[in-house]
Structure 1
Amino acid sequence: MVNRLIRKARLFIWKKNRAKIDERDRKRLTEKIKTTSIISMNCTGGIISHNLGLQFLSPTVNLYMNAEDFIKFCENLSFYIGIDKFEICTDENVIGDRTYPIAYLGDLTLYLVHYSSVEEAEKKWNERKRRMNWKNIAIFNTDREGMTGELKDRFEKLPYRKVMFVNKPDEKHASCYYLQGFENEDCVGIITDSVGWKGMRPIDQFDYVNFLDGKD
C-alpha cells in the first residue's frame, strides 16, 4: 500500500516536472523542426513529437518494426511509404502471446502496439504519409529488436539525418549515441520511460531538439 502511494506520488510529480521541460523545449522550436518528418523504429518519434507539440509528419507512429525490417524500410522509404494497403498477419508463430494487431507492409512486419485494429492503423498510416516532407527527414533508431553490426553499417549509409541509441559506446558507427544506464543489458530499454522524480527519461541524455534542428 505504501509503495503504491509512493509510486503514484512519484508519477504525479514526474509529470509536473516533465510538463515544465516540454514547455521549455517548445520555446526552442524552429521552422526547421516544425517541418521535420520523423521516421522512427518504434514509439520514440511519436512521443517526442507529442512532447514538442509537433504534427505527425510521417506514418511511423504508435508501432514498431524489428531492426532488419526498419533498416530495409529506411533504405527504400519512397517504395514502402507508397504502399497503401496493410495485410493482416494471422501467423501464430509471429503473433505469439501479443494482444495487439500485426500487419504486413509488403514484405515488412508492422507491430501495431497502440492500435485497436489493422484497419485503424492503415487509415492513420495513409493520412500521415501524405504529410511527409521529403526534403526534411530525421531518423530515430535503437539497438533493440535484433540490431547487429552489419545492420549498423547499413544504417550509416542512409542519406538522412539519423541517430541510433545504443547501450554501450560504439566508436565504429558515427550515428550511434550511447545512453547510459543499460550497460548490463543486451540493448537499450524503453528510452522514453520515466526515471526518478525530475521529469527525466533516458533519451533526455540526448539533445533531440538540437538534432531535429540539424545541429550536432
Structure 2
Amino acid sequence: MNNAILQDKVFKFYTKLPHCIVCRKRHMKNVRSRFNYSDLSDISIFAANCIGGELYYLLGLKFSSPLINISIDRNQFITLCSNLKEYLSQPISVSLHNGMCVGKIGGGSGLKEVEIRFPHDTDCESVKKKWAERCKRVNYEKIVLINDDKGLTVSDYEAYKAIPAFRKILFTAKDMSGEYEFCHQLAEYDGQTYTGSYNGKSLDGLWKFTKMWDYVSFLNGDTH
C-alpha cells in the first residue's frame, strides 16, 4: 500500500470525528450558498494536483474533468493544457509503479509525452475507464486551470499565460501578480522558493487550501 492510499484511509477514519463533521458541513453550506450554480455547474476543472477533485466534491458538482485525484509535474501540466483537446483525444496508457497507477499520454502526433500519477489508485483498468468517461464530459468553453510554482521557469510562466481559459490561477510563494495577473500569492509561504503543501489536510477535517484561498470567489469570477 503506497503512502497516499494509507493517508486516505487514516484521514477518512479521522474525519468521522464529530468536530470534523461539523466543520465540513459548515464549510460546505457556506461555499454552496455563494457559488453561482446557474452559470458554473458545467465547469471543467484541470488542476495539477488532487484539489480539483476536492473542489468538485465540496461544491457538489459532477466530475467534468479527467484530472481527478492526480499529481502531475507543474511544467508538464502546462504542456498538457497548452494542447488540451489534442492530448485528450489520445489514448492513455496506465500501469502500476511503486504501488500507484501511472498514466502516460501523448508521445505521438507531435505531442510530448506527459506523465500523470494517480497516487490514490491501484486499479489501472478502473483509472482508464474513468479517464475515458470524464474526457467526454469536458466543457472546453469553461476550462478552469489551477497550477502552482513548483519547479517552474520563466518560459513556463509565459507558456501558461498563453493558454486560453475560462478561469486561470497559479499559486506562488512570492507576489508575482504585478508580472502575471493570474498569479496568486499564498501568504503562508512568503519568503520560500516555492509554495508548500496547500493540498494537505487540516486537523478540522478540511483541506489546507480552504483556509488559504477563496476558491468560490475565484470560480465565480470575482477575484483570484
TM-score band w.r.t. shorter chain = 0.7 to 0.9
Q: 2:157 aligns with which of 152, 158, 169?
A: 152
Question: Which aligned runs of 4 or more in structure 1 are off by greater than 6 angstroms?
Answer: none
Q: Which residue of 2 aligns with 1:70?
A: 77
Deviates more, 1:120-129 or 1:165-174: 165-174
The residue aligned with 2:50 is 43
Look up the match of 1:186: 193
State the Cα distance separating 1:201 from its structure 2 match: 2.3
Q: In the aligned structure 1, how far is the partner of 2:154 from the partner of 2:20?
A: 36
What is the DSSP-based 3-state SS (H/G/I as helix, E as strand, rest coil) of the residue aligned with 2:75? helix
**How many matched pairs?**
201
The residue type equivalent to 1:181 in the other structure is: E
Cα shift at 1:214: 2.5
CA–CA separation in structure 1 for the residues paired with 2:115 and 2:174 = 27
TM-score, normalising length from structure 1?
0.83
1:203 Cα offset (Å): 4.3
1:198/1:55 CA distance change after superposition, 3 Å: closer
Which residue of 1 is the match for residue 9 of structure 2?
none
Displacement of 1:68 in angstroms is: 1.7
Alignment correspondent of 1:88: 95
The amino acid across from 1:88 in the alignment is S
How many Å separate the matches in 2 of 1:74 and 1:124? 19
Question: Is residue 2:164 matched to residue 1:140?
Answer: no
Change (3 A) 1:151 1:26: same
Could you tell me whether the CA contact under 8 Å between 1:84 and 1:122 is conserved in 2? no
Q: Which amino acid aligns with 1:64?
A: S
Per-residue CA shift, 1:23-59, capped at 9, x if unaligned? 1111223222211111111101111111111110111
Task: Give the TM-score taking structure 2 as reference length.
Answer: 0.80
Question: 1: CA distance between counterparts of 2:75 and 2:88?
Answer: 17
Q: CA deviation at 1:188?
A: 1.8
Mapped to 2, the partners of 1:12 and 1:116 lie a distance apart of: 30
Note the alpha carbon deviations across 1:103-157, whole angstroms, 9 max, x for none: 211211011112113222111110111111111111111123x222221121111
Q: Sequence identity, in percent?
A: 26
Aligned pair 1:110/2:116, yes or no? yes
Structure number with greater CO (CA < 8 Å, separation at least 6) is 1
Unpaired runs of at least 5, structure 2: 1-13, 107-112
Residue pair 1:39, 1:140 contacting (<8 A) in 2 also: yes
Instruction: Using the TM superposition, give the Cα deviation of residue 86 of structure 1 relative to its aligned residue in structure 2, in angstroms.
Output: 1.5
Preserved contact between residue 43 and residue 139 of structure 2 (Cα < 8 Å): yes
